[in-house]
Amino acid sequence: MIDPRFFHTSEPLLVSQVINELAGRVLAEGSQSEITRVADLTDENLDSAVVFVSDPKFIAEGLKSLPSVCIVSKKVAEKTNLTSVLPEVTILESNNPRADFATLADLLHKSIAEEVSYGNTQKSAIAETAKVHPSAVIGESAIIEDGVTICANSVIGPGVHIGAGSTIGPNVSITHALLGKHTRISGGARIGEAGFGFVQVDGKQRRIPQLGRVIVEDEVEIGANTTIDRGALNDTIIGAQTKIDNLVQIGHNCRIGRRCAIASQTGISGSTILGDDVMVGGQVGLADHLTIGDNAVIVARAGLMKDIPAGEKWGGYPAKPARQWFKEVAAVTKLATPGKG
């Protein structure tokens, strides 16, 4: 769901307006007459929402409820009996469903952080025991709980909630985010900025609105100059007691489990999931949409392109089980050593 603390939603659009705006081929006309929001296929409630489907497998996984409008690719239209899986839904075939979805997202939702002026703390809830440096900027409707410290030149966006006992270092910016208790954010960190989402339209890259949040649970520590992007539609989540080093990049829609440790200069691509108690060495790169099992270990400078089962240790580039990687390195070293090949 689009969080009204962070996004304004415009008046509903008639389905007829949507059809005219997108100029797609109408495959079926549904029973709902308007859309009120964009949504992800996995949302519990899709009533009056518009979704897009670019791959038949997502339809095969099933929907929890039915949207008002579904935008599909030609591939989906050809391979799926859409009227049976999406009864009473308006179905539009599009040459670029992601771009059309972005168009509707732009029409329906606007980031409050990009619309309101900062510094009007009269509309914010700042606890008496909180310590806010005079140079810090607090957005409207922000909530700062007891014992929070906000250091010099930090910017807290509208609607942001910072839990009790947390410390926000200097020159930090936090937007579209909810922080738990006793979190510690070091200087220069950027939490909740727009994720790296683009779609090519007419030979140009067009930004896809990022309408999710960042959820940081209790006792998380985030290092200096680390960036954590908000979700595209779902949330980016950092589990309780996880520790993140300096200069780490976490992409949109990532879910990091509890008690993870992520070393410096690691980059985690969008929609990757880390289980609980995962350890990630320095300068590791993770591809998007991966799943890393509980208690897995990723060796420093690994380049990961596959899922890792729980409890396994992987390393190398491309990453593989560490025991195999060590054997291969030893074999190559032996071949390259004079007199030992």
Catalytic residue positions, numbered = 252
Residue linked to tokens 């690994």: 302
Which DSSP string do the residues of 186-208 spell out, in sequence order? Answer: -TT-EEEEPP--EEEETTEEEEP
What span, in angstroms and rounded, lies between the C-alpha atoms of 212 and 294?
Answer: 25
Tokens of 134: 């005079």
CB 175 within 8 A of CB 194: no
Q: How far is CA 212 from the centre of its chain?
A: 7
- Cα 195–200–206 angle (5° rounding)? 50
CB 252 within 8 A of CB 212: yes
Count the alpha carbons within 13 Å of 309 in the hemisphere toward its beta carbon. 4
Strand partners, 51: 70
CB 260 within 8 A of CB 242: yes
- DSSP-based three-state secondary structure for 74: helix
Name the amino acid, one letter, at 257.
G
Name the amino acid, one letter, at 41.
L
Report which of 90, 74, 78, 85 is spatially closest to residue 32, judged by C-alpha positions: 90
